[in-house]
Structure 1
């Protein structure tokens, strides 16, 4: 398998401006072909296990999938994406949520307004009783199947909707929705506040993707995280929530944040 390099790929000014304006960013070809192939093998293994339990199932939305196979840890700090995540949030982050998606073809078309439109972690605004607040988390989705054409279960995003106040969507908002047209090995970053949904997969292609959600270490994890033993990789330890002193999440020092050297804005 192609190994990660020690190179860092910080967010460019052009990328930052686009992300700030639109709430998402597409990066082409961040995973080489052999990594995509190996990822597909691991996903297919999990899909087979799922089908043994639920033979009639047409999809899987598996939370906390990084615990299922050590291979998935390699993408936790993938060289072409992780520095950009640090630049968008800070170095005091961890993997608070992950999910693996498989969606078989043959779904029924739906009007765009009938899709499952949502914002991630919108309980933040509800609990704080505010209409707008901070980004708080970023998701990086790695695409393993070819969704470079519409109607393949594409991620749909309403550009700029991360700037909207907490409210319901209008017909005019739905008309602005953009499908993420991406190929195997591409990645899509998106702000948790951006309105998004999955389009029906009415194609002949099985949709397969991996989603890694990063947030600040002082927020609670959405996933269970069965893995609490330390690894030999200090970055993985941070991202997997392994720490000796829980106070370090609120007042970290340099040894707690091995990614701090990438945090160029702080």
Structure 2
């Protein structure tokens, strides 16, 4: 990485493969602090299982929370950290807008897998500028159910998903490329990239936050999967806004 984001070589890798693994985006100490913040959050709000329908009957668990920046100011600061936004602007352009955030904790021994899928069906956009940054707050080796990807699959465009989980059975999870990560690493990927993750069979939790971002000029094809923080500018400006209105006037 350069001081302002990705190198030309890294951008070329992303364009070819649909993802880029940034090692050490955060220091181990920062990652540990965010990990503690995530687990403290769960203690405050309780567990909220997000296990996918296709594996819900297998005794798996997946703790999650959306819009974590409304739960802790630590995550608000993370969203505008220039290390994060520098990579995002290298991939999206100068203007980067938040779509939503999610925290995921895969508990030990029974942390739920994610079948292979694209994020596209959940929030399709006209220009496909949407990217996700998965930031790791603890180590994620393969036995913890690390991210797995099908490199280059983003070039196939939107694929026809199957079932409630929008999964893609033509891409077996076991055949996908594992991307083991260290605490502080981040993986940025296109929302067209086919990806998933395995079961956490280790003795430790796997803790991550996902930040979904887009170009504010990229129009959604369907208005769904909204969030309280949607529209927050993380870098640059929103060129689509018209004249100023009070927030309460818009809902009148």
Indicate the residue corresponding to 2:146 in structure 1: 154
Q: Distance in 1 between matches of 2:32 and 2:121?
A: 35
Query: In structure 1, what is the equivalent of residue 204 of structure 2?
Result: 205
Q: 1:116 to 1:92 in 2, by over 3 A?
A: same
Gaps of 5+ in 1: 1-6, 229-236, 253-266
Contact 2:132–2:210 (8 Å) recurs in 1 = yes
- SS of the equivalent of 1:203 reads coil
Conservation of the 8 A alpha-carbon contact between 2:23 and 2:185: yes
> Could you tell me how far 1:175 is from its partner in structure 2?
5.8
What's the counterpart of residue 42 of structure 2?
47
- In structure 2, relative to structure 1, the CA distance for the partners of 1:51 and 1:81 (3 Å cut) is closer
Superposition TM-score, scaled by structure 1 size: 0.71
The reply to whether residue 250 of structure 1 matches residue 205 of structure 2 is: no
How far 1:124 sits from its partner (Å)? 6.1
CA displacement at 1:23 relative to structure 2:
0.6
Q: Alignment length, in residue pairs?
A: 221
Tell me if 1:28 matches 2:18: no
Structure 2 Cα separation of the partners of residues 84 and 227 of structure 1: 20
The residue that corresponds to 1:143 in the other structure is: 136
Stretch moving more, 56-65 or 81-90 = 56-65
Residue 74 (structure 2) pairs with residue 71 (structure 1): yes
TM-score by length of 2: 0.75
CA drift of 1:78 comes to: 2.1
What are the superposed Cα offsets for residues 195-253 of structure 1, whole Å, 9 maximum, x if unpaired? 1112111111201001111112244684432699xxxxxxxx62399x9xxxx54279x
SS of residue matched to 1:213: strand
Match of 2:118 in 1: 119
Cα separation, 1, equivalents of 2:108 and 2:65 = 18
Q: Is the 8 A contact 1:158 1:173 kept in 2?
A: no
